[in-house]
Structure 1
Amino acid sequence: MGFKYVFIPASPNDDMQEMEYETDITELEKDSFRSFVEKFFAAAGQSADREILLQQLKERTGVDLQEKADKGEMANDMLDKLLSTSSVEIFPVQLPTKETCFQGVSVYLDDKGVAKNLEENIRVSSLVQACGYPGQTIRGDCFIGRVFDDTQDEWRRMDFTLKDCSTDAEWIHVTKMQRANRKSGDLQSMANSIGVNNPARIDPSMLADSAPKGETADYSWKQSEDEVEVTFKKEGLQKGDKKYVKVAFGRKRLRVEVKDQVIIDSSLAGNTTADECTWTLSDGVLQVTLAKADEGTWPELLEA
């Protein structure tokens, strides 16, 4: 039977399109829709600003690739190939929780939208802002899709239609409430963790280093309100080695294998929204981003 999704062009003069994916997708590990979206953005072919891309990669990975190339530690043609590779960014708008009947909604967009100076997608930006993300802007053509994820046994793609693209849609109201409750709950949780009774009086400097983080011989990890970032640094690993990297996301499990070496295969200390978890690869660095499904901070990365 398949499922419906919506394509929203960046230009407001182009019509939004309700489209149908012909086959059902009921396993996250076999999500061909995501591959379809990646191919779409790869085929778009817009040129990107090199300096902006280099800065973005440095911010994400902590590695100055241009400096490595200048020192001869990385081939220039390899750097050029890395910067020209297109991928997809997933912006999780609605998280699948009990309050949302375990339904999640995500926007799929070109991950180099800023570097390519793509036109702001006013219609998608308006939807996202109406959901409780003030000031958030989305660039370029976008896809919007919905999944069901009960965080236990069932995961599947569901219909998302043109009717859902109204700022008056019920899912947007629910998401706005979810965002408000999530922020409040996380703030209270962090307040409790550092012994502050009145979260309204928390100073940002008090919270800067309060969330647990850590480092081992194989990786380092840190967390924000919504995500956990795990960074693996491995000499000799290059962007072109993507085929040697295997990352499997479970609701409460992470497995990472690089060149037949299993680095992590363990239960996590918290639940994740597996559909929104991602990984990126650059020379020497593999970064895994875990989307939190539950409120609050993780005491550790892995379950004891």
Structure 2
Amino acid sequence: MGPSFKYVIIPASSFDAIQELSLEIPEGQEVECFLNKVKKHFSVTGGERSESQKENQKQLLIKQLGEAASNVDPTMLETAVNMQMVENISLLPNSAETSYVGVNMYCDDQAQMKGLELNNRASQLAQCCGKLIEVRGDAFLARVFDNEDDFKRMDLTIQEVSSSAAWVMKAHEMARRKEQSGGGYQAQKDFLDRLNKKKLRTDKGGNPPLTTEVRELSPAEIEKEEGNAAFKRGDWKAAIERYTSALTLDPKLIPALNNRALAALKLGMAKEAEIDCNLVLECEPLNVKALLRRATAREQQANSNTKHKYQEALDDVIEALRIEPLNKEAAVQKSRLLQLFEQERSVPEQKI
């Protein structure tokens, strides 16, 4: 196995965990291996451009080329328009001041045209580094050493995705020095004000306003994020181990409890899942996810000797629908439970 390096992906959806990944470096492909990986990701995610959007991009490209456009082969022009490219944003410049070690953010250069959603976390991180930008779609972070003579991929870990990370603070300091004489901070404030006003008009998800701070993950939250990553790849056992580690550090970390319950359900550990859901609901009685997961756990435990579990599961689903009347998952679960409950009622109780 050849050399590899660690990098981070910040998904556009705030419901998806930030992940730390690793990529092996093929011999002689230190520069392009990561770019090819990112291009492939962007080419298969985030939607496609319409024909009118492609035509608009083509006309923009012709305008940029000016007189030289008449000498460009039409086929090459079409290829350029359809080519997936990556926008490389330098968050921490690789200069002599940073010993030529920089951190870059890689985004889909067609994100705006594809209509991808605003990536709040990546936008906030970029703004912490002094970059007044809106990031759309998934974003990647990677560290490099590049002094124009030598190039090397270096590790960047999930623990470094915070406003207090050394590289972010250094980037912020460098941006502040550069902008001090030009009113950069007022420009940043104006930018964030405009962005938040637009979010108030378009964001129905109840997300908090953008700030120039990215809250640092606690050790427990880092473990929870690792659990989320394990869950997404289908490793339920590893996910439970990570969530348990998170809860050892912070017993009141509700998302870890709730997610551990779901991982337990995947492994058929219904009793354990019910216990976790009970703990969640003690703290958050209106937590619909916990209610539905407890309903599933109770349903899995129900049999001819424990018919009451069907009723308990049904009670959970009815409560979930009371809180969220339009919840489709709860409606489907209620319909199924009503059928099962009626079937079990017709079966005589077995005596032990």
TM-score (structure 1 length as normaliser): 0.50
Identify which of structures 1 and 2 has the higher relative contact order when contacts are C-alpha pairs closer than 8 Å and 6+ apart.
Answer: 1
- Which residue, 161, 165, 176 being the options, matches 2:157? 161
The Cα of 1:118 is off from its aligned counterpart by 0.2
Q: Report the residue type matching 1:40 in the other structure.
A: H
RMSD: 3.5
The Cα of 1:126 is off from its aligned counterpart by 0.5
- Residues 3-38 of structure 1 show CA distances to partners (whole Å, capped at 9, x for unaligned) of 10001111000011100112378876x531112211
What is the rounded CA distance, in whole Å, between the counterparts of 1:104 and 1:137 in structure 2?
A: 21
From the CA coordinates, give the structure whose radius of gyration is larger: 2
| 2:111 corresponds to | 113
- Residues 234-285 of structure 1 show CA distances to partners (whole Å, capped at 9, x for unaligned) of xxxxxxxxxxxxxxxxxxxxxxxxxxxxxxxxxxxxxxxxxxxxxxxxxxxx
1:47 aligns with 2:43: no
Contact 2:58 2:81 in 1 (8 A): no
Q: Report the residue type matching 1:16 in the other structure.
A: I
Instruction: List runs of 5+ in structure 2 lacking aligned partners.
Output: 184-352
What is the rounded CA distance, in whole Å, between the counterparts of 1:43 and 1:168 in structure 2?
A: 33
| 2:84 corresponds to | 86
The Cα of 1:145 is off from its aligned counterpart by 0.3
What is the rounded CA distance, in whole Å, between the counterparts of 1:170 and 1:90 in structure 2?
A: 21
- Residues 52-90 of structure 1 show CA distances to partners (whole Å, capped at 9, x for unaligned) of 55445555552589xx99xxx999987665543322111
Q: Report the residue type matching 2:118 in the other structure.
A: E
What is the rounded CA distance, in whole Å, between the counterparts of 1:93 and 1:180 in structure 2?
A: 13
Pairs aligned (count): 179
Indicate the larger mover: 11-20 or 98-107: 98-107
- Residues 184-240 of structure 1 show CA distances to partners (whole Å, capped at 9, x for unaligned) of 6999xxxxxxxxxxxxxxxxxxxxxxxxxxxxxxxxxxxxxxxxxxxxxxxxxxxxx
What is the rounded CA distance, in whole Å, between the counterparts of 1:58 and 1:26 in structure 2?
A: 37
* Alignment CA distance shift 1:160-1:14 (3 Å): same
Contact 2:5 2:24 in 1 (8 A): yes
Q: Report the residue type matching 1:167 in the other structure.
A: S
Contact 2:46 2:116 in 1 (8 A): no
Contact 1:5 1:19 in 2 (8 A): yes
* Alignment CA distance shift 1:83-1:97 (3 Å): closer
| 1:277 corresponds to | none
* Alignment CA distance shift 1:53-1:156 (3 Å): same
The Cα of 1:154 is off from its aligned counterpart by 2.8
* Alignment CA distance shift 1:155-1:77 (3 Å): closer
What is the rounded CA distance, in whole Å, between the counterparts of 1:44 and 1:27 in structure 2?
A: 24
Contact 2:91 2:103 in 1 (8 A): yes
Q: Report the residue type matching 2:114 in the other structure.
A: K
Q: Which structure has the highest strand share of the two? A: 1
- Which residue, 170, 173, 180 being the options, matches 1:174? 170
Q: Which structure has the highest helix share of the two? A: 2
1:122 aligns with 2:124: no
What is the rounded CA distance, in whole Å, between the counterparts of 1:61 and 1:101 in structure 2?
A: 39
What is the rounded CA distance, in whole Å, between the counterparts of 2:36 and 2:88 in structure 1?
A: 12
- Give SS of 2:37's match: helix
1:139 aligns with 2:133: no
- Give SS of 1:176's match: helix
